[in-house]
Structure 1
Amino acid sequence: MTESILGLVINHLSHSDDALRDVALGWLCDGYMDDPDIATSVFQQWQQHTPERAFNRFPQLSFFPVPASLAGQACRLSDQWVQQGQALTSLTTRCAGKLLEQTIRLAPTDLLPHLHPITQIANSHKIFFRIDLERLNQRISLSTFSQDRLFQQLNQAVEDLSHNAEDEQAMGNGLTALEALRRQHPESIDLGKTLSTGCEGSPSQAASFQIALISLVQMAGSDNLLPELSPYLLNSSEKVLGLAVEAIVRIGSGQAAKVLLDQFAQAGPTHRLWIARGLQRMRVANLAPLIRRLRNSVSDTGLYNMLLVAELQQLDPDSGPTVVEAFGEMDAASQAMVDAGMLYTFICAPLQQDLQPTDVELSFRDLLMRIQDKLSRTETGHQQDIRSLRRLQSRQREQIFKKRNK
């Protein structure tokens, strides 16, 4: 992913269109983008529009990059929002919960200065039920432990899990110990060896494997672990498969994308769906033509559409001609397709070289009109979808697009 495209998406976090702001933020967070400007822009929009209007989908995010420099501000915002006394289900309250939940993912050393306010805020409202203060304190205390003490805790967790694989306390202890070792003594840990032993060995090997794989989802690994992660994209356990895809997406490199592409050819139908979803979340330069080649090799319509979304998500202007062709052949689209098409239209249509910029916009608008027509002839429960699609085709959007072309 080029810096210029990334910068354009971040700029769209402050766009006047609320739906486009949401889609841009989703694209950044789904791909584990961690540019500090993301949080800065989001905080500015909250101040300008309020949480109720700025990012409607924010509570649904599974990742949001809070930089250490903004941890204090994130705590203050969470506290401010819950003090408004709104309902537990209100968007403002849910944003408060999600923001603090993502803030405590920072490194323990970055959280230490904010431990007191985090504790007070977390104890002040039910929305913070996902924040485990005991575990947070443990993470911070382990940052001062010696390597030997950390290994003692990790080994004890493995022992406990070997007797009871569902022991959540032991799993938490193992993950916090492994996190501390990876942060403070990375040379002492060979995760590749742990992964290569597999998930079907002895109970202790299976426990070590599980801790290692979950740790790589929580905290990104490096390319040198890809050979060990790759076989698990074909694993019969859907849990292992899902964690392996997430760990590879978390790495997010060109080599990680290649692993997904290579294993797709050998994968069964269910595994291909998981891998396609992983490709949708990769943000790698020059990946779009490789996904397109994969897309043209499949016959299943659902999988074809998932790979089209993956190609759109690369925001490669050179995909324009094939995108126009694909949109012209469709008469239905998922929400993921609509979101990806909208972002592609706004980011890449003005950058076209082989097409007129309006060609992409018009093909996408025509697709939306066909979807709207199809929905209008079905049950009335789709009225909200119809209103959303009409908004996408509004005169305001067309005027903005024409202004950008000029």
Structure 2
Amino acid sequence: MAVTLVDSHAARVALFVTGGIAAYKACEVLRGLQKEGCEVRVAMTRSACELVGPRTFEALSGHHVTLDLFDDETSPIPHIDLAEWADLALVAPATANAIAKMAHGIADDAVSTTLLACPCPVVVAPAMNVHMWQNLATVANVETLKARNYLIVGPESGRLACGETGAGKLASPEQIVSAALYRLRARGDLAGRRIVITAGPTHEPVDPVRYLSNASSGKMGYAIAAAAAAHGAHVTLVSGPVSLPEPAGVGVIHVTTASEMLDATQDAFATADAAILAAAVSDYRPDKAADHKLKKAAEPLDKIELAENPDILATISADRGDRIVVGFAAETDNLLQNAREKLARKGCDLIVANDVSREDSTFGADTNCVTIVSPHDEETLDCMPKEQVAEAIIERVHDLLEPDDDYLAPSSPDATLLMPKAGA
């Protein structure tokens, strides 16, 4: 889904590349932003040019790269033009030096001067040696940026280019793009609301190396969490085992089994306004999980005694009071009939019925074909990317939480996504 702003232009991202060894990954970030419909222009430090040539970014972006304040044939004041053009400033990678300049208002090259002139939100993705990251000066500078509502993404821990291991590795391009989209799409219509979301499968152990599970990827639940956070909600995502980057602005609790998911969801729901239970929870678990790997010759696996797992949706719905609960129904036949029956049986407010028999709506697909079922009506959506399905679900939750508010869904053809205020 392309990011569109209030004046109907595609989201404009100024990508600032500084001189860290991870500068080459900025190319992937640029392409990821373009895939989401953003227009990207690049500014680079001279050190960054030693690692990746500006012509690479010019070819990828289709725009001139800003390198100098005075020797720029495209503009007499390039730093002001780029700063005023941008809806979002993204610094990736951000070296310790670049972070220090931002924190202290130093403007001595094209990148730092443009950043000082930017009135838009700023996202910073640090990357540096572990000791530089842990240095008290860097720690203080990062805290200064956070206090100014700069969004800091990463860094991750791992093996660094210098050969050391620890924190300082650039966040993945996917995480950086997610953070940029979160800032671009941020709006406040759910500010102050707390929402719990579950996602992914559960793994029910047979023994230390085997488990019962299903094919859920977690993509739908993660998209809903990202959408809710972008609308200003305080989001807790209770996630089963998945291979997805954590959504920006979301608190994530990782669990493995259905029992763990129930406990975490109940704890989070105790102070929440709504729960959206998108996880594909295993219905059964082995009655007794072995504490050692079972050997076929001595301990046949053809008969495993099963016990029923707790029903998370029914449990949360029974304790909801006047709070909102949304469940999911993954079906292969009799979609609406099964969804209506589940809605009545579980006692929740909405059921999102998903036809997983379709290739474009099955587990792991990037699109979903769903019908949102309430006690009063049904809304069948076109098959669309999961991000747009997530926006439609958040629209319905917003309407239930704030029934008197005017609301325009971002998934609607006439809708626009509101930019946050500068620095928000």
Shorter-chain TM-score tier: 0.3 to 0.5
Query: Per residue, is there more strand in 1 or in 2?
Result: 2
Query: Per residue, is there more helix in 1 or in 2?
Result: 1
* TM-score, with structure 2 as normaliser: 0.32
Bigger Rg, structure 1 or 2: 2
Higher relative contact order (Cα pairs below 8 Å, separated by 6+ residues): 2
